[in-house]
Amino acid sequence: MRPLEALLLLADLLAFCVVSLPRLRAVRGMRFLPAVAAIAGAAQVLWEGPRWPIGPAYVLAATFFLIAMSQRLAPTRAAAGPHGPHRVSAAVSIGLGALALIAAASLPMAVPVFRFPSPTGPYGIGTVTCVWVDTSRAELFGVDPKGRRQLMVQVWYPAHGNASGPPAPYLQDADAVMGAFARIHGKPAFLFTRFKDVTTHAVPSAAVALDQARYPVLLFLEGATGFRQMNTFQVEHLVSHGYVVVALDQPGAAAAVVFPDGHQVDGLTMAQFRSTVGPSYLPGGTAASAKGLSLPNGRALEDGSIVPYLAKDVFFALDRLVALNQADPNRILTGKLDLQRVGAFGVSLGGIVAGEACGLDARLRACLLMDAPMPTDVVDAGLRQPGMWLTRDAASMRLERQRVGGWPEAEIDAHQATMRAAYDGLSGAGYFVRLPGAFHGNFTDASHWTPLAPLLGLTGPIGEQRAHDIINAYSLAFFDRHLLGRPATLLDGPAGQYADVLFEARRP
């Protein structure tokens, strides 16, 4: 809850007490509290901006002010007797007012303008966004038949610890992105309007930290119907510890990608994802089974799976990072990228695509794959790089299905079997890290979105903060060891502070 929202609710509570209790109104100065509530409501609208969950608080502030005015103009006469009709009416009014106050306080807490925990590393965080156009490839998901593949790219980088300035928004074009997300998942769009008010710890275009000559680079890949910022909890943690993170908003994979020229590419539906991604890892599925599938713009899917197409975005991004390091148009990152130390991480569909890309491009030196099955070709060919799988056990997936649906048994079996097979087939170092009690949303920011996350199935019994603490700790340890060569005792065996984690490791 934002500061002025909390102040408004407190003012409403005090105003309610004043209009309900004649003895309190008799205290000097207390009679002005209903006016203070009205002023607090106006101030909140002007400074923080209105939002629908605060609507009841606005109504109560205005109502209490009007009641207070009427009480001053026409003082209430005492009721005749303790059980008179006026006394009953007053009791009913007080009861209804109390219920209204409870509703006014509950809504903004259930649908908050949420905040992320402060990063623990020594660096501040800077961020810039840009558009990269791959002129060699056609855009498979856009409406322009002559369109070339475009990516919205956001870069987070270590900044001076005292970097100051207005914080970067969580989502640029939040209404468009979350509106598309709501349509895909059949949710009311108004539940997500608050996302435009959420901010992060990053400062746009902050000066890069100068204590290191260059910083290792990590590519982040979003999940299906997601957005490039969907793992901000993890990105900010890694950047604060000295990594540059480059997130790709991939048209088709994302809920929606909005470009600076105003055009928007909406993502596939969940049914289309199942038919275009499932063949890459489900038993009996082959890429050929999806060939010719008609996409929303009328084009036919030629590869039989969108996974190879999305993996080519990664190869293109690696090429563009070379140019960015040579001459950053923003004059921030020139010469600051250590392109000999590049890793990739992704969640869900992003983990599938990251696995595919790591299997084909040796420039990726370490691969972190989160709660994602592995494509059949990755399982068959194996990964040459060190790999870590951050996921959960089959029992946790079944518990999630029991509570909120989804996760057919065939998906659970493929999820577990392909990850295990890819891990077992590693030629280098590997780690298989499972979080019992985690749900799929625990691997993203989704568990931050509302305190009702456990009831909505966005977080499992493990809890939001516990899951994120574990994910952040193992992510940092993995990249520290395999990109920077630093000691990482967390990866040497089961850790006492994470005794609930099911940890396995294999050496080269």
Convert the pLDDT of each residue in 388-417 to its tens digit.
999 999 999 999 999 999 899 999 999 999
Q: Give residue 102's domain range.
A: 3-110
Stretch 332-344: mean pLDDT, rounded?
97
Inside any domain, residue 216: yes
Stretch 431-437: mean pLDDT, rounded?
98
pLDDT at 395: 97
Picking from 30-39, 50-59, 192-201, which range would have the lowest pLDDT averaged per residue?
Answer: 30-39
Residue 201 and residue 98 in one domain: no
Instruction: Give the residue from 396, 409, 480, 469 showing the smallest Cα distance to 437.
Output: 396
Tell me, what CATH number does 255's domain have? 3.40.50.1820
pLDDT at 95: 79
Inside any domain, residue 116: no
Q: Which of 60, 78, 110 is the C-terminal boundary of a domain?
A: 110
Which one is predicted more confidently, 310 or 296?
310
Instruction: Give the residue from 355, 325, 327 showing the smallest Cα distance to 341.
Output: 325
CB atoms within 10 A of CB 411: 17
Inside any domain, residue 488: yes
pLDDT at 31: 78
Residue 46 and residue 147 in one domain: no
Residue 343 and residue 207 in one domain: yes
**Cα–Cα dist 180/266, whole Å:** 7
Which one is predicted more confidently, 293 or 137?
137
Stretch 203-229: mean pLDDT, rounded?
96
Residue 242 and residue 144 in one domain: yes
pLDDT at 87 over 90: no
Residue 215 and residue 300 in one domain: yes
Inside any domain, residue 118: no
Strands (E), 254-350: 256-258, 264-266, 293-294, 300-301, 337-347
Mean pLDDT of the chain: 90
Picking from 89-98, 196-205, 240-249, 324-333, which range would have the lowest pLDDT averaged per residue?
Answer: 89-98
**pLDDT confidence band for 459 (50 / 70 / 90):** very high
Q: Which of 87, 110, 133 is the C-terminal boundary of a domain?
A: 110
**pLDDT confidence band for 343 (50 / 70 / 90):** very high
Structural domains in the chain (count) = 2
Could you read off the pLDDT of 274-297 as tens digits, one per residue? 888 988 888 765 444 444 455 666
**Cα–Cα dist 394/274, whole Å:** 20
The predicted model scores a pTM of 0.91
> What percent of the chain has a predicted confidence (pLDDT) above 70?
92
Residue 131 and residue 182 in one domain: yes
For the chain, report the end-to-end CA distance as a whole number of angstroms.
49
Q: Which of 77, 110, 143 is the C-terminal boundary of a domain?
A: 110
pLDDT at 80 over 50: no
HSE value, Cβ hemisphere, 13 Å, CA-based, for 499: 2
Stretch 48-68: mean pLDDT, rounded?
90
pLDDT at 294: 57
**Cα–Cα dist 373/305, whole Å:** 14
**Cα–Cα dist 280/267, whole Å:** 19
Inside any domain, residue 384: yes
pLDDT at 304: 61
**Cα–Cα dist 375/367, whole Å:** 14
Q: Which residues contact residue 94 at a Cβ distance below 8 angstroms, ignoring those fewer than 6 apart? A: 20
Report strand pairing: 124-138 vs 387-391. unpaired
CA-based R_g, the chain, Å: 27
Residue labelled with tokens 């991604």: 277
